Chains A and B, each alone.
Chain A
């Protein structure tokens, strides 16, 4: 069953999309900022890992924790130094600012690394797979990425619901004025939210670098996939984001099977547009966000 195989691959791919989408949703949830640079920020960790691997020749998997730490600092400083200034200026200003950042990052990467394809070589893992039967094989790497996405989403839910910092995140999201009156440093919380978002992006970004080739132009599509997953699933719900990612992944792989590989991405877009037309609040919308 070729279709079954494509379906399984689509679900696994969806986990990867969700990994990118969670960060976008977290930033929007805490500060209503639509980060247009999010896609480009998913490429940065892959290049950070590339630099490390070229310098000290170790497995890309070891570079993940270091890249996570670096991306946390980048996110915290970016938010504290620049983005915090526009959080209260309305969404249009945020879009213009992050669009500017997006173009700057993309061209800085072109300048530093050229437009060539790069890949993080992880040895044999990228070709190993579990063979279920003659038509169905599950690659170890896509499976690991999917499981990581699950762990990240569960972890983020636990963090938001069970920890003191998570409670502050939710308080700032609900009513930042009231949160501030309760003694919460909103500027710090926003910066932490961006830091956490980029930690998640770092995991996804390096993993993608191991799985496929990448170049500086990948940012736009990464942003668009993350956005589609968020809107399909419905804002304000971690599981919705995962569901959105899976629906997008399935649409792409099944679209490739049905209409041929060139139409795979387009099928994903069309499914997104249909859901947007019929159910703009998303499939699992918790709250109506404005």
Chain B
């Protein structure tokens, strides 16, 4: 989060372009403390809370990836459960059949996710907007049906991840936790760096107006492909982590549409198109889960209704609303123009509140 990317003098006007404000440097310090707290958590947090945080971090990572696709590339997928499921089964394959250590198998799962995402993108990108969403759902159903009908993968009743079950419990929980934390941090950092880069500008241009972006020379197809593949790899990675976490992989659970329902609701409620949104959304989701989980279906209904209300009446989500009011971003992506000169012309610009949306 470096401030002052450039300072230019042109004639009588002096201005500089900033990404971060001074507050952001304080936030960065606090952020580092929070990350260190999370890294050390398993040593003092106790097993039940650590296990809960694995769920929390997994969902946060998934939501960030879904947000990257929708919020920046305008790709709406409701088929991420396909990658999660394939990640879980790949982990089982590597851990129990090929005898790779489960924590190494996670990496192979991510590769498999990326490999599946490539031809999938070629197919679903032929569909537009909403139909693209159902296309991703069909692909997830295809993967689920194939896996559920193969006898070697246990068919509909699934398989136990023996290699993970035989691990020492504390090692397994801590390892899963750090993988989940790593996945979340990678998802956030990759999203942030990607959006700060040239590709990020292209993505934001696509999000705002894909036709205009394309006519400015943005390669729409390739840029969308990148985000789709990154999301596919990330979701498979989280799927693999969940397989080690619950020790059991079953088609109905691993490929469940509810996975995507969580991601959609979390991201939409928190705020699409911001890195902060999914964080807030995941926290809200967990508060709801801890307080209403025993009411079964009710909790899904409440979550769904909340997402409906936000979509219709506050489409930018909770964080979008806060950011609009305060113009404060924990992860600054907007490029702000600050006028330094004191000439009449520059003051006029300053009075207009010169800000360049990034």
Q: At the interface, yes or no: B249 with Cβ under 8 Å from chain A?
A: no
Q: Is A227 touching B126 in the complex (CB atoms < 8 A)?
A: no
Smallest CB separation, A191 vs chain B (Å): 16
Q: Is B307 touching A273 in the complex (CB atoms < 8 A)?
A: no
Check A111/B76 contact, CB under 8 A, given A89-B315, A100-B265.
no
Of chain B, the residue at the smallest CB distance from A112 is B297
Residues of B within 8 A of A231 (CB): 127, 131
Bound Cα distance A270, B141 (Å): 11
Contact of B138 among A28, A103, A228 (CB under 8 A): A228
The interface-forming segment of B47-55, B57-65, B298-306 is: B298-306
Q: Is A100 touching B133 in the complex (CB atoms < 8 A)?
A: no
Q: At the interface, yes or no: B353 with Cβ under 8 Å from chain A?
A: no
B135-156 interface with A by 8 A CB criterion: 135, 137-139, 141-142, 145-146, 149
CB-defined interface of A258-289 with B at 8 Å, one 1/0 digit per residue? 00001101100110110011001000000000
Of chain A, the residue at the smallest CB distance from B134 is A227
Q: At the interface, yes or no: A36 with Cβ under 8 Å from chain B?
A: yes
Q: At the interface, yes or no: A104 with Cβ under 8 Å from chain B?
A: yes
Contact of B311 among A34, A96, A265 (CB under 8 A): A96
Q: Is B297 touching A227 in the complex (CB atoms < 8 A)?
A: no
Q: How many residues of B contact A (CB 8 A)?
A: 41
A78-108 interface with B by 8 A CB criterion: 82, 85-86, 89-97, 99-101, 103-104, 107-108
Q: Is A276 touching B127 in the complex (CB atoms < 8 A)?
A: yes
Q: At the interface, yes or no: A144 with Cβ under 8 Å from chain B?
A: no
Bound Cα distance A91, B130 (Å): 6
Q: Is B126 touching A104 in the complex (CB atoms < 8 A)?
A: no
Bound Cα distance A158, B344 (Å): 69
Q: At the interface, yes or no: B312 with Cβ under 8 Å from chain A?
A: yes
Q: At the interface, yes or no: A157 with Cβ under 8 Å from chain B?
A: no
Interface residues of A: mostly helix, strand, loop or mixed? helix
Q: Is A34 touching B133 in the complex (CB atoms < 8 A)?
A: yes
Of chain A, the residue at the smallest CB distance from B295 is A111
Of chain A, the residue at the smallest CB distance from B139 is A273
Q: Is B126 touching A107 in the complex (CB atoms < 8 A)?
A: no
Smallest CB separation, B316 vs chain A (Å): 11
Q: Is A103 touching B300 in the complex (CB atoms < 8 A)?
A: yes
Q: At the interface, yes or no: B275 with Cβ under 8 Å from chain A?
A: no
Q: Is A33 touching B304 in the complex (CB atoms < 8 A)?
A: no
Bound Cα distance A32, B257 (Å): 24
Bound Cα distance A97, B76 (Å): 12
Bound Cα distance A262, B301 (Å): 32
Q: Is A103 touching B304 in the complex (CB atoms < 8 A)?
A: yes
Q: Is B131 touching A34 in the complex (CB atoms < 8 A)?
A: yes
Residues of B within 8 A of A277 (CB): 122-123, 126
Bound Cα distance A103, B55 (Å): 21
Smallest CB separation, B50 vs chain A (Å): 29
Of chain B, the residue at the smallest CB distance from A106 is B300
Check A269/B268 contact, CB under 8 A, given A108-B301, A227-B134.
no
Q: Is B134 touching A223 in the complex (CB atoms < 8 A)?
A: yes
Residues of B within 8 A of A103 (CB): 261, 265, 300, 303-304
B89-147 interface with A by 8 A CB criterion: 122-123, 126-131, 133-135, 137-139, 141-142, 145-146
Q: Is B135 touching A104 in the complex (CB atoms < 8 A)?
A: no
Q: At the interface, yes or no: A110 with Cβ under 8 Å from chain B?
A: yes
11 A-B pairs with C-beta separation under 8 A:
A92-B130, A95-B76, A97-B312, A100-B264, A100-B265, A107-B297, A111-B297, A266-B142, A269-B138, A269-B141, A272-B138
* B residues neighboring A (CB under 8 Å): 70, 74, 76, 78, 122-123, 126-131, 133-135, 137-139, 141-142, 145-146, 149, 257, 261, 264-265, 268, 296-298, 300-301, 303-305, 307-308, 311-312, 315
